[in-house]
Chain A
Amino acid sequence: MTDERQLRLEERLLDLGTAIAFPATPPLSALVADRLRQPPRRLWFGRPVGRALLLALVATVLLVGLAAAVGIALGGLRVVFGPAPSPLPSMVAGPGLGEPTTLAEARDSVTFSLRVPRLPGLGDPDLVYLAEPPAGGAVTLLYRERDGFPADPATNVGLIVTQFRADIGPEVFEKLVNSGVRVTPARVGGEDAWWIAGGEHFFFYRDARGNVVDTTLRFAGDTLIWEEGGVTHRVEGAPSLAAAIRVAESLE
């Protein structure tokens, strides 16, 4: 194993490298551009979301008017009643749920300890998404229809569980709700929680530059939100507060 032998080998390897038959590079720039133009990717199992529906919902939120914002502060999350105070169109162009991944990879990627509901009958999530930003990562677990968790006819999603760090620095999460929404205080394992029910609501955050970034863009069903151990949790789509709490308290 002289240096000379190694050098000769390296020369041969370099020469070989010029002759390797790699498969043709696919047109990734076009493929990626296409995917980026579809903001709420794959939230809708097998069905693209109607852009018109999306815009109609944005309009609904805008129409709420300039009512003063009332805030519920919850870790890094702020629930805001009223209109969106900044340009909404960027919400439509946001990165959606993030990238599809596996539970194991999501666990490795986030800076908090990811938990999964262990409610009997729920099983493993059908899809796992990882988004970053926010700092530290956000993980969304999606479940299709399950016993006791009927699928939303528009999205085909039965249940959504999301977790992200609450101490997210300059990013401020906001849940935008309109005045038709009821917010009910609740408890999850001794922690304060909020049950947001009865209307459409958006969930987004402002990044360090103050841009509004959509994180989910779901017109989810009713939502339970709470913070535990520095992590904000959301359970969306449960048919009742009691069912949402059962899911929440089964997290481990």
Chain B
Amino acid sequence: MAGGVGVAEVEGRPLLEREWIESARRGDASAFEELVRQYQEIAFRTAYLVVGDADEARDAAQDGFLRAHAALGRFREGAEFRPWLLRIVANAARNRRRSAARRADLAVRAFRDTASGDAAPSPEALLLAEERRDELLAAINRLRPEDRLVIALRWFLELNEEEMAAALDCPRGTVKSRLSRASARLREAIGESGDD
């Protein structure tokens, strides 16, 4: 499961997506609406990770979609739409970050459908798993914002390298190094006991 991010929907999307883009370019508002519907969650969550505030993220994602709409004519045919869009949305979010006073910590959902794993785990095992999650998330929340963002984009939104480069507005080549530096600092933060 990809946490509802939409990885599972990739199959069969490109053709439809291309049609939507083409129609939206010709001024078909409902086609653009479809594109927004398709990507609103990933766009909003990306913006949220950048600004750390739900209202700002909503406005940033909306700005991003409107900018994308205005720039559709420049979208290169055959290119991937998702990274193109995420770049615009993340930029819009970065522009808003200065006005967002505080950045909310990421939190874990109180109730989850199922725990990971095949067999039904014992209550003790569940509790332990919860604790380990909480501990890991607390460490992530303590990281520098840049490290937290890189880790969240990769592991919580499951963006690929191209999409991360777009969202971070950095060359593709530096995504790996940023991710590995952030991971190293996270491992440091959780200490030896965190992995053993």
Hey, which chain A residues are within 8 Å of B63, CB to CB?
A: 99-100
Task: Report the count of interface residues on A (CB-CB < 8 A).
Answer: 45
Please report whether the interface of chain A is mostly helix, strand, loop or mixed according to DSSP: mixed
**Which of A15-23, A115-123, A148-156, A222-230 lines the interface with chain B?**
A15-23
Are A26 and B195 also in contact (CB < 8 A) when A10-B155, A101-B95 are?
Answer: no
Proximity bits, B61-75, A CB within 8 Å = 1, else 0: 111011101110110
Whether B132 and A20, one on each chain, are in contact in the complex, defined by CB atoms closer than 8 angstroms, is no
Closest to B40 in A: A28
Q: In the complex, which residues 1-30 of chain A have their Cβ closer than 8 Å to any Cβ of chain B?
A: 1, 5-6, 8-10, 12-23, 25-29
Please report whether the interface of chain B is mostly helix, strand, loop or mixed according to DSSP: helix
Hey, which chain A residues are within 8 Å of B152, CB to CB?
A: 20
Bound form: Cα–Cα A16–B67 in Å: 32
Whether A32 and B116, one on each chain, are in contact in the complex, defined by CB atoms closer than 8 angstroms, is no
Beyond contacts A17-B3, A100-B63, A132-B70: 9 other A-B pairs, Cβ-Cβ < 8 A, are: A15-B116, A18-B1, A19-B112, A20-B107, A21-B106, A29-B40, A36-B32, A99-B63, A133-B71
Counting from the closest, the 5 A-B pairs by CB-CB distance are A13-B155, A23-B54, A28-B40, A17-B156, A29-B36
Chain B residues close to A by CB (< 8 Å): 1, 3, 27, 29, 32-34, 36-37, 40-41, 43-45, 48, 54, 57-58, 61-63, 65-67, 69-71, 73-74, 91, 95, 106-110, 112, 116, 132-133, 136-137, 140, 151-152, 154-158, 183-184, 186-187, 195
Can you list 23 residue pairs at the A/B interface with Cβ under 8 Å? A5-B187, A13-B136, A13-B154, A15-B133, A17-B157, A17-B158, A20-B106, A20-B108, A20-B156, A21-B108, A22-B48, A25-B44, A27-B40, A28-B62, A33-B32, A33-B36, A98-B70, A99-B63, A102-B95, A131-B70, A132-B70, A133-B73, A133-B74
